[in-house]
Amino acid sequence: MEEVKEIQELIDKISTRDYKSKKYQEMKIEELSAELRDAMKFQQESFQRIEELKKRGIQEELIKYVKVICSNTVEREIIKIQNVYLEKIENEYLKSKRK
């Protein structure tokens, strides 16, 4: 039962990341860069935790389930940040070309 509790805690941690309320459009490029690094670091740490749980022999179906949740949730966040980030870089580049 302890393994199920650990999986649930990891799922809760992934699911409660507060990226939906962040106003990426209002952030500066530097802030977006930091957000992107933070999301990628969180994803990497989550996958490392999943691998640790897998090595301990936790049920394969639970491991697959938490991997899907992690991939979907964190990837969605990363893509959202990347889109705004690239848009802002493109706009800055176009502004600099006009001068």
Give me the residue spans of the domains in the chain: 2-7+25-98
The rounded percent of the chain whose pLDDT value lies above 70 is 96
Note the pTM of the prediction, 2 decimals.
0.84
Mean pLDDT to the nearest integer, 72-76: 92
**Mean pLDDT confidence for 63-78:** 92
Q: In Å, what is the CA distance from 1 to each residue of 37, 39, 40, 58, 59?
A: 34, 30, 30, 10, 11
Dihedral angle of Cα 87, 28, 24, 7, to the nearest 10 degrees: 110
As a whole number, mean pLDDT of residues 25-30 equals: 92
pLDDT of residue 17: 81
Residue 36 has pLDDT above 80, yes or no: yes
Does residue 61 register a pLDDT over 80?
yes
Give the residue carrying structure tokens 């994803």.
43
Please determine, for residue 31, whether its predicted confidence score (pLDDT) is greater than 80. Answer: yes
* pLDDT value of residue 99: 63
Do residues 23 and 80 touch, judged by C-beta distance below 8 A? no
| Mean pLDDT calculated for residue range 34-60 | 92
Residues belonging to the chain = 99
